[in-house]
Structures are given as structure tokens and as C-alpha cells.
């Protein structure tokens, strides 16, 4: 799969379940993301098409509470390809995620550069 950057993310605002459309620069649908509703543990399915006939990835949380959650990522066939783990106390002020490979080894991490941005975004969402 050749990616044509930049990618565009469109969010469907008036829907029962959160939906995201990921499109290439030319407008071609690359991925369709839909979160399952009414799950005790969070689960997000990523499809290669909007008809949801071609499952590309699934992300499942290991616990009900989001604090220190680990999201296992599997491919369409159900094979584990990696995980995203949120650090608990460290992520309260500044979001920090460890990205693991299929064997549970930390491959890299993502850390929020400016925590004030998240705080301001949360404030604006409430208005």
C-alpha cells in the first residue's frame, strides 16, 4: 500500500458511534474507523472500506477503566501486531504512550509536547 501524504481525517459528528474517515491526498478512502458501542472494554475496528466488509485492524482495551489501559492491536486475521500502552500517573498531566511490537517489547513512545494544549482543547470542548 502506497500512502499519498498528507492524509485527511474526517470525523462524522452526527452518529451513534464515533466514526473516522482516513483519506489520501487524492481523496481515496484509506481506512474507516468505527468504535463499538456498549462495550465494557473499549474496542475499535478499523476497516479498509466504509461498507465494513474488509477488517484491517482491531484495537481492544485490556480493562474497563481507561487509566493505564493497554490496547492490543490485531490484524484482520486476528494476529497480534502490537500494542499501545498508556502510562498511568505520568499521563495525568502529560499524555505518554508506549508503543510495543508483537512480542510486547517497547518499540518507541509518544509523548505530548505541550500539556496546556490538551487542557485548552478540553476547555473549548465544554463551551
What is the grid cell recorded at 124?
473549548
Average of pLDDT values for 36-44? Answer: 81
Q: Is residue 84 part of a domain?
A: yes
Taking residues 49-78, report their average pLDDT: 91
DSSP H or E run through 106: strand 106-111
Using omega within 30 degrees of 0 as the cis cutoff, is the peptide bond preceding 6 cis? yes
Q: Is there a domain that residue 106 lies in?
A: yes
Average of per-residue pLDDT across 13-23: 86
Calculate the dihedral angle through the C-alpha atoms of 63, 66, 69, 75, rounding to the nearest 10 degrees. 80
The answer to the question of residue 96 being in a domain is yes
Roughly how many angstroms between the first and final C-alpha of the chain, as a whole number? 41
Q: Can you state the percent helix, strand and coil of the chain, rounding each to 5?
A: 15, 40, 45
- Asked whether residue 2 is assigned to any structural domain, the reply reads no
* Strand order across the beta sheet in which 43-47 lies: 8-12, 19-23, 29-35, 43-47, 55-61, 70-75, 80-86, 96-100, 106-111
Split at pLDDT 50, 70, 90, the class of 57 is very high
- What is the predicted pLDDT for the residue at 14? 80
Instruction: Give a yes or no: residue 112 inside a domain.
Output: yes
53 within some domain: yes
* Mean local confidence (pLDDT), 47-70: 90
* CB of 36 closer than 8 Å to CB of 17: yes
Query: Can you give the pLDDT at residue 13?
Result: 77
Residue 35 lies in a domain: yes
Percentage of residues in the chain with pLDDT exceeding 90? 49
Tally the domains of the chain.
1
Asked whether residue 1 is assigned to any structural domain, the reply reads no
Domain that holds residue 86: 8-126
Using CA atoms, how far apart are residues 115 and 62, in angstroms rounded to an integer?
26
Summarised one tens digit per residue, pLDDT across range 81-125 is 999 998 766 666 677 889 999 999 999 998 888 777 777 777 777
Q: What does the block give as the cell for 33?
A: 474507523
Amino acid at each position: 500500500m502506497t500512502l499519498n501524504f498528507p492524509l485527511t481525517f474526517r470525523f462524522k459528528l452526527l452518529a451513534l458511534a464515533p466514526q473516522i474517515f482516513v483519506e489520501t491526498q487524492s481523496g481515496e478512502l484509506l481506512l474507516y474507523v468505527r468504535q463499538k458501542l456498549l462495550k465494557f472494554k473499549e474496542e475499535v475496528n478499523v476497516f479498509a472500506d466504509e461498507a465494513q466488509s474488509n477488517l484491517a485492524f482491531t484495537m481492544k482495551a485490556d480493562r474497563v477503566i481507561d487509566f493505564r489501559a493497554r490496547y492490543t492491536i490485531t490484524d484482520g486475521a486476528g494476529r497480534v501486531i502490537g500494542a499501545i500502552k498508556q502510562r498511568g500517573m505520568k499521563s495525568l498531566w502529560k499524555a505518554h504512550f508506549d508503543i510495543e511490537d508483537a512480542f510486547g517489547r517497547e518499540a518507541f513512545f509518544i509523548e505530548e509536547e505541550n500539556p496546556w494544549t490538551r487542557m485548552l482543547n478540553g476547555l473549548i470542548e465544554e463551551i
